[in-house]
């Protein structure tokens, strides 16, 4: 089925106004100060919280 009448640009944009993306929050790492996602390990130094350091192991390509 086709629409009975064309929807104007303004009307269509008003209808889609709630679909906009929002910026992802970021916080500074307590250890090195680089930006990171909250509740996640720092990509630069691996710091999560005092007393816990996450190190990602790499698999060898043999």
CA distance 62 to 48: 31
Whether residue 37 lies inside any domain: the answer is yes
With a CB cutoff of 8 Å and minimum separation 6, the contacts of 41 are 47, 48, 54
Residue pair 48/42 in contact (Cβ under 8 Å)? The answer is yes
Contact 27, 33 (CB under 8 A): no
User: What is this structure's pTM?
Assistant: 0.52
Mean pLDDT of the chain: 85
Is residue 48 in some structural domain?
Answer: yes
1 in a structural domain: no
Q: What was the pLDDT predicted at 53?
A: 61
- The domain of 50 spans 23-54
Number of domains in the chain: 1
pLDDT band at 15 (very low <50, low <70, confident <90, very high): very high
Please indicate, yes or no, if residue 40 is contained in any of the structural domains: yes
Within a domain: 18: no
Asked if pLDDT for residue 56 goes beyond 70, the answer is: no
Q: Please check the confidence at residue 57 and state whether its pLDDT lies above 70.
A: no
């Amino acid at each position: 089925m086709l629409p009975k009448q064309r929807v104007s640009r303004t009307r269509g944009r008003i209808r889609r106004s709630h679909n906009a993306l929002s910026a992802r929050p970021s916080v500074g790492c307590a250890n090195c100060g680089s930006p990171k996602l909250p509740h996640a390990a720092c990509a630069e130094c691996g710091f999560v919280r005092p007393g816990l350091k996450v190190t990602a192991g790499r698999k060898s390509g043999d």
